Amino acid sequence: MIELTHDCSCENNPLVPTVCKVIEITEETSDVKSFRVQTLDGALPFRFVPGQLGMLGIVEHGECMFCVSMGGADWLEFTVKKVGTVTERLHLLYPGSQVIVRGPYGNAWPVEQCKGHNMLFIAGGIGLPPVRTFLLHTLAFRADYGRIDLVYSASTKADLVFKEQLFDLWPAEPNTHIHVSVYRPSEDWEGPVEYTAPFLTSLGLDISHTTAVLCGGPSLYRTCSKALAEMGVPDDHILTTLEMRMKCGIGKCGRCNVGSKYICLDGPVFTQAEVNAMLKD
């Protein structure tokens, strides 16, 4: 049984903003960009563990909560979809722009407890960035994990994020299988055309000793958690992050409660068993 820890304390005070600079921008799709940031003196904005989030913002325009999608020794990366006023402003940034960063927030993916497991990562569209730090951790400590599968779908080829990693880097890792599908194919798409849940079941995976990690929209979540249950994956071996519900991150705004739980204080990473219990509260 996987029991999630909520002790992800670190030396940073997530209420105190740090002025940072954008050092690199990657245009993932027409409405998704990844921003690599570091402090003005070239240091890591805050220490994090896979699954945690941070605030990224601009002084005059406000800030929003995003999962850290990747991290290096002296930088963090946030992957931002343009969906509102603040994210539209963030998309106008350029290398050298100043931003404010706060964090970390939330608990973490249970990377230690999953050692020895086969890992099945399932993501849809912009659901891949919150999963990426966990996937990268398993690849960095490859010998600690069994077979790794990533099942990733988006509406069209143009909506796939992290294309270089999806098509070049990750498939080259040992015992790592990357399955990418779209459900509205363009003429130049040669891969599978499929929704995620049926694609998942068609793979015929041996799910024994497997932990599934799931992140996507409500439809993907509903259909894939049902498919995983039918495949025999126990509820406490299905992990998800509900990070999209987080706003203030510190239990003050009341935006994230489900039943008696606060996503920001008790999560955002939960097992399916915990989600089921929350929905019954």
- Counting Cβ atoms within 10 Å, is residue 100 exposed (0-12), middle (13-18) or buried (19+)? middle
Q: How far apart are CA 249 and CA 4, in angstroms?
A: 18
8 A C-beta contact, residue 61 and residue 89: yes
Q: How far apart are CA 60 and CA 5, in angstroms?
A: 36
Q: How far apart are CA 209 and CA 146, in angstroms?
A: 9
By residue count, the chain amounts to: 281
Minimum CB separation from ligand FES for residue 80, in Å? 18
* ω into 192 cis (within 30 of 0): no
52 phi/psi in degrees, rounded to 5 = -80, 165
Binding site for ligand FES (CB under 6 A): 246-249, 251-256, 262-264
Minimum CB separation from ligand FES for residue 176, in Å? 34
Minimum CB separation from ligand FES for residue 257, in Å? 7
Query: In terms of CB distance, is 55 or 128 closer to ligand FES?
Result: 55
Q: How far apart are CA 241 and CA 106, in angstroms?
A: 10
Query: In terms of CB distance, is 136 or 248 closer to ligand FES?
Result: 248
Question: Which amino acid type is present at position 144?
Answer: D
Query: In terms of CB distance, is 56 or 264 closer to ligand FES?
Result: 264
Minimum CB separation from ligand FES for residue 172, in Å? 39
Query: In terms of CB distance, is 174 or 254 closer to ligand FES?
Result: 254
Query: In terms of CB distance, is 106 or 216 closer to ligand FES?
Result: 106
Minimum CB separation from ligand FES for residue 105, in Å? 8
